[in-house]
């Protein structure tokens, strides 16, 4: 019997040990969220697209076009001055300024005109060199002879306005060089022109319905970077004509190198290293979670505040690169899940709960004290608007309340931010919730929702019940006159107030509204100036991040 009990005890002990081992194995397992290897960043796109620009690299540019198997390398252009790129479209050139136009034959124009009609010489050539040989042989007949890539290499000539101009020129070509065939090339909205930016000579036209890839030619002793407009970038640039006719441009590069261009665009590189590290980790979280916001545009994220600021290689700094490198792989997690690490410039002394700015209640975006952020240049701000300015902004956002009678904050959060603002007008009232007033009037004008509102119709009056002096709009007051107690009439929009020595004229309906506010930004998550202050006070980047993202952990 004892032996039987001993066997059961031994078996139970063995099972417990196995259970402990299994439990321990699962408890120490942690699968970190995937950090993408590369990221595509939109630089110019859609209606805001820059359709005339320069792309260049010090050692030259390699040009490829997307096909079914990847990218087909077309050529390497060695000139350091690079390409000037524009749409294959109609242009009016006046005083060396190119203006894209909607050309009509009956229109009256000054200056030169370029158009999207061309002449093809021969058929499709087997390779670049064969096409180049034909183009060179035609140079004596026309200065505007260039190579085109459209399902193979071709030789084209001229930038004509219509088919009739092409047919006239074809007859001239036939007389001079009868051994070739000549056909009219009609316009196509997918084409892009490539000029030598130094000489102004048209070199290539490429059908960019599929992406065109431009890579910097790298050398052993120098990082290959490529310029777009006034900025330079690591990685490669991609250009494509979209349905609306614009040229979209995006930059693809390794994700961590993307952060090199984000951190110094968000905070000064001279700040304390721990603050830079906190910004690097927050930017890493935010960058990963933003991927997909611009899938419809052909890239992952944009380079502006809609995603997060990105200024490329030219804005990098050794200190911010160090902050990215020394936090490599670090993320902010809540319950082991990646969270959106919202950040802003300055809270004004206290951050806000998520639901008081947007809608969702996020347990990791709770209001926290931000005393280390005080002393920033954005602690306090003032902005005045006339009644007319506000009315115009409202109408631009399809809100018509008629003539504004008053603007009144109806609700304020426990932390002082206005969550419900009512605008009263002759045609009715409208309520603007939370950040709506900032989106209408401009986020740089009304820097945060932590503000108090005053007007030129405000009076200080003594409350007969509390005995305290209070601020009130003249239009909301009752006065004692020879006719008894009556509300002020707005017909004259003036009231005269007598104190001990003087009589002052005051508006009954305000003409000007003054926002007196604190901080800059939505006030959620990490305050950048607060992170700076905490770092200078001796806190490290982990402590900074875990202070601003309630209950979250840096792993």
pLDDT tens, residue by residue, 513-545: 999 999 999 999 999 999 999 999 999 999 999
The per-residue pLDDT for 214 is 96
In this structure, are residues 522 and 435 in contact, taking their beta carbons and an 8 Å threshold? yes
Tokens of 313: 């290689």
By C-alpha distance, which of 148, 135, 122, 129 is closest to 208? 148
In this structure, are residues 339 and 285 in contact, taking their beta carbons and an 8 Å threshold? yes
Burial bucket for residue 519 (CB in 10 Å: 0-12, 13-18, 19+): buried
Tokens 């030169």, residue? Answer: 112
Q: 236-249: b or e for each residue (b if 16 or more CB lie within 10 Å)? A: bbbbbbbeeebbbb
pLDDT tens, residue by residue, 149-188: 999 999 999 999 999 999 999 999 999 889 899 999 999 9
In this structure, are residues 555 and 330 in contact, taking their beta carbons and an 8 Å threshold? yes
CA 40 to chain centre: 13
In this structure, are residues 480 and 487 in contact, taking their beta carbons and an 8 Å threshold? no
In this structure, are residues 22 and 219 in contact, taking their beta carbons and an 8 Å threshold? no
Entry pTM: 0.83
Q: How far apart are CA 460 and CA 474, in angstroms?
A: 9
CA 520 to chain centre: 18
The per-residue pLDDT for 156 is 97
Quickly list DSSP for 473-530. Answer: EGGG-EEEETTEEEEPPSSS-EEEEE-SS-EEEEESS-SEEEEEEE-BS---SEEHHH
Q: State the DSSP code for 143.
A: S
The per-residue pLDDT for 469 is 57
The per-residue pLDDT for 302 is 94
Q: How far apart are CA 151 and CA 17, in angstroms?
A: 68
CB atoms within 10 A of CB 137: 14
In this structure, are residues 118 and 166 in contact, taking their beta carbons and an 8 Å threshold? yes
Q: How far apart are CA 2 and CA 541, in angstroms?
A: 61
- The stretches of 419-461 forming alpha helices (DSSP H) are 436-441
* Residues in the chain with pLDDT values less than 70: 1-32, 47-49, 460-506
Residue 5 backbone dihedrals phi, psi, to 5 degrees = -60, -40
The per-residue pLDDT for 1 is 40
The per-residue pLDDT for 140 is 79
All residues at 6 or more sequence positions from 523 whose CB lies less than 8 Å from its CB, including other chains: 344, 347, 348, 351, 352, 357, 417, 448, 449, 450
Instruction: Provide the CB-side half-sphere exposure for 389 (13 A, CA).
Output: 12
The three-state secondary structure class of 542 is helix
The per-residue pLDDT for 461 is 59
In this structure, are residues 541 and 327 in contact, taking their beta carbons and an 8 Å threshold? yes
CB atoms within 10 A of CB 36: 14
Q: How far apart are CA 100 and CA 525, in angstroms?
A: 45
Q: 139-159: b or e for each residue (b if 16 or more CB lie within 10 Å)? A: eeebeebbbbbbeebbbbbbb
The per-residue pLDDT for 106 is 82
Tokens of 234: 């690591």
The per-residue pLDDT for 555 is 94
Q: H or E element: which one contains 85?
A: strand 83-87
**Parallel/antiparallel/unpaired status of strands 145-149 and 202-207:** parallel
The per-residue pLDDT for 5 is 41
């Amino acid at each position: 019997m004892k032996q039987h009990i001993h066997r059961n005890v031994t078996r139970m002990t063995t099972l417990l040990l196995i259970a402990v081992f299994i439990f321990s194995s699962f408890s120490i397992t942690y699968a970190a969220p995937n950090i993408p290897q590369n990221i595509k960043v939109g630089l110019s796109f859609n209606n805001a697209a820059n359709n005339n620009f320069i792309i260049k690299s010090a050692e030259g540019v390699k040009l490829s076009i997307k096909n079914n198997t990847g990218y087909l390398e077309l050529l390497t252009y060695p000139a350091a001055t690079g390409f000037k790129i524009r749409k294959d479209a109609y242009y009016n050139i006046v005083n060396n300024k190119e203006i894209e136009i909607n050309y009509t034959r009956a229109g009256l124009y000054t200056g030169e005109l370029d158009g999207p009609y061309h002449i093809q010489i021969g058929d499709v050539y087997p390779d670049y060199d064969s096409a180049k040989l034909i183009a060179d042989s035609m140079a004596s007949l026309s200065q505007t002879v260039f190579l085109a890539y459209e399902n193979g290499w071709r030789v084209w000539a001229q930038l004509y306005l219509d088919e009739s101009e092409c047919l006239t020129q074809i007859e001239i070509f036939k007389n001079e060089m009868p051994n070739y065939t000549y056909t009219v090339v009609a316009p196509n909205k997918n084409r892009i022109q490539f000029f030598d930016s130094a000489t102004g000579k048209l070199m290539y036209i490429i059908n960019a319905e599929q992406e065109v890839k431009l890579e910097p030619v790298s050398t052993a002793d120098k990082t290959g970077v490529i310029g777009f407009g006034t900025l330079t970038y690591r990685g490669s640039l991609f250009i494509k004509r979209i349905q609306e006719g614009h040229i979209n441009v995006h930059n693809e590069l390794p994700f961590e190198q993307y952060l090199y261009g984000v951190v110094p665009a968000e905070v000064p590189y001279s700040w304390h290293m721990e603050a830079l590290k906190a910004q690097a980790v927050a930017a890493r979280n935010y960058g990963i979670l933003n991927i997909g916001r611009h899938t419809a545009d052909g890239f992952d994220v944009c380079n502006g505040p809609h995603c997060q600021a990105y200024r490329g290689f030219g804005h990098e700094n050794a200190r911010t690169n160090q902050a990215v490198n020394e936090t490599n792989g670090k993320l902010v997690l809540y319950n082991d899940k990646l969270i959106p690490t919202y950040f802003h410039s300055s809270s004004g002394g206290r951050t806000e709960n998520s639901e008081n700015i947007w809608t969702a209640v996020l347990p990791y975006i709770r209001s926290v004290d931000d005393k280390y952020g005080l002393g920033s240049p954005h602690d306090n701000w003032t902005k005045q608007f006339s009644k007319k300015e506000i009315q115009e902004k409202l109408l631009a956002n399809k809100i018509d309340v008629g003539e504004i009678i008053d603007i009144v904050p109806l609700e304020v959060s426990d932390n002082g931010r206005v969550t419900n603002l009512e605008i009263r007008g002759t045609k009715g009232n409208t309520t603007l919730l939370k950040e709506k007033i900032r989106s209408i009037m401009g986020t740089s004008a009304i820097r945060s929702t932590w503000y108090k509102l005053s007007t030129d119709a405000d009076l200080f009056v003594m409350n007969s019940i509390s005995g305290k002096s209070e601020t009130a709009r003249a239009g909301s007051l009752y006065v004692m006159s020879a006719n008894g107690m009556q509300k002020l009439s707005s017909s004259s929009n003036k009231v005269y107030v007598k104190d001990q020595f003087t009589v002052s004229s005051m508006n009954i309906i305000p003409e000007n509204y003054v926002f007196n506010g604190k901080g800059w930004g939505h006030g959620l998550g990490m305050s950048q100036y607060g992170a700076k202050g905490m770092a200078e006070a001796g806190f490290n980047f982990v402590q900074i991040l875990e202070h601003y993202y309630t209950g979250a952990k840096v792993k």
